[in-house]
Amino acid sequence: MGFFFQELVNGVTTGALYSLIALGFSMVYGVLKLLNFAHGDLYMVGAFIGYFVIQWFGGPSALTIPVPLLLLIMFVLAAVLVGGLGVAIERFAYRPLRDAPRIAPLITAIGISFFLENSALLLFGAQFRVYNTSDFIPFSAGVQIGSVSIDAVQIMVLALGLAMMVGLRQLVIKTRLGKQMRAVAADREAAEMLGINVNFTIAATFFLGSAFAGVAGVMSGLLFNQVTSTIGFLAGLKAFTAAVVGGIGSLPGAMLGGLLIGIAESFITGYVSSTYTNLFVFALLIAVMLVRPSGLLGQAQLQKV
């Protein structure tokens, strides 16, 4: 039973990570109806920013500032820079195509993803960069419940992930910006006629979604230790899966989907074999799409004529 709960904890942690990426992906889809293929690569950029922050402050084993401050700088910097990158991409590549045929922004997004991935390859090389998290957050800092051990990084990822999700939910429901986002998602033209600054709302959505991806990137660096230019593609695919399984455009759906994918992945790796993990995740996605294309929590979209 201990093994089961251990795998569950690991799965929920990975799932929280996927949820954060899926949330940004789903938000962007909500306002623009665009599958942002570059979203996974934003996550990769966030992971690199975290790595360079650690290096800047003396490297993992000889930090010049206290660990909580370092974590704060990592997360804030990644969120701000990656958010800015997301806004720049939207401004440069997607905004001119807002009224183009649906296929055009999709292909642009594929191009952006490819460009970002290879820019990272050019700038940072093909080797793995290592966070060495255990040098500054020791394994012993975690908690032990029976035979299940939860280390400090996992606790932090879960807490921060939960806080961000709750915060996003409050923002979308309670604030003026959230209301504008929902209005733009429902009908962009009508929102514009009612005096909502659509360009600003879309840019803000891109900033938030990309910032979530950036934070998730730092988290993945802390959890999995390794960063390279290609990590974005697979993570992006998993996040698509999460967003689609939960119902694309639906924020609770993205959280649920992320958790489901994370837990399923963890159990398959633990009980079956890590060889078939990805194959299974892809098969799960295709099955969900065939049975319930609108996802678990999504609403079936009526086709307007």
Partner 1 sequence: MSLDAQPPAVGPQVGSDEWVARQAHRREYAPGWVGTAQRASQRIGWWPRLAIAGVAGAALPLLGLGGFQLQVGIDALVIALLAVGLNIVVGWAGLLDLGYIAFFGFGAYGFALLSSSQLGSHGIHLPALLSLPIVMIGAAILGLLVGLPSRRLIGDYLAIVTLFFGEAFVEFTNNVAPGSLGGPNGIISIDPIRIFGNIQFNSNESYYYLLVFLLVAVMAVLRLLDTSRTGRAWRAVREDPLAAASMTIPVNRVKLMAFAFGAMVAALAGTIFAAQQISVFPTDFDTPILILIYAGLILGGAGNIAGAATGALIVMVIYDGLLRSPAESGYLFYGLILLTLVVKLRPWRRLGLVLAATAVLGFAAHAVTRALSPAAVAGGPQSAGWIAAALRDWVIVPANPQVPGNFGFVLLVCLLIAIVQVKGHWRTILLVPTIYLAACVWEARLIVEYSVTRQLMIGAILIVMMNARPQGLLGVRRVEAAI
- Chain residues binding partner 1 by CB under 8 A are 29, 33, 35, 88, 91-93, 96-97, 99-108, 110-119, 121-123, 233, 237, 240-241, 244, 248, 275-276, 278-279, 282-283, 285-286, 289-290, 293, 303-305
User: At closest approach, how far in Å is the CB of 81 from partner 1?
Assistant: 12
**DSSP of the chain:** -HHHHHHHHHHHHHHHHHHHHHHHHHHHHHHH----TTHHHHHHHHHHHHHHHHHHTT-TTS-SS-HHHHHHHHHHHHHHHHHHHHHHHIIIIIGGGTTS-THHHHHHHHHHHHHHHHHHHHHH-SSPEE--HHHHS-GGGSEEETTEEE-HHHHHHHHHHHHHHHHHHHHHHHSHHHHHHHHHHH-HHHHHHTT--HHHHHHHHHHHHHHHHHHHHHHHHHHH-EE-TTHHHHHHHHHHHHHHHH-TT-HHHHHHHHHHHHHHHHHIIIII-GGGHHHHHHHHHHHHHHH-TT-SSPPPPPPP-
Nearer to partner 1, 29 or 75 (CB): 29
Nearer to partner 1, 124 or 224 (CB): 124
Nearer to partner 1, 99 or 146 (CB): 99
Nearer to partner 1, 153 or 235 (CB): 235
Q: What angle do CA 236, 241, 242 make, to 5 degrees?
A: 95
Nearer to partner 1, 92 or 271 (CB): 92
User: At closest approach, how far in Å is the CB of 282 from partner 1?
Assistant: 4
User: At closest approach, how far in Å is the CB of 189 from partner 1?
Assistant: 9
Nearer to partner 1, 93 or 297 (CB): 93
Nearer to partner 1, 97 or 155 (CB): 97
User: At closest approach, how far in Å is the CB of 46 from partner 1?
Assistant: 16
User: At closest approach, how far in Å is the CB of 303 from partner 1?
Assistant: 7
Residue labelled with tokens 């929280």? 16
User: At closest approach, how far in Å is the CB of 256 from partner 1?
Assistant: 18
User: At closest approach, how far in Å is the CB of 140 from partner 1?
Assistant: 37
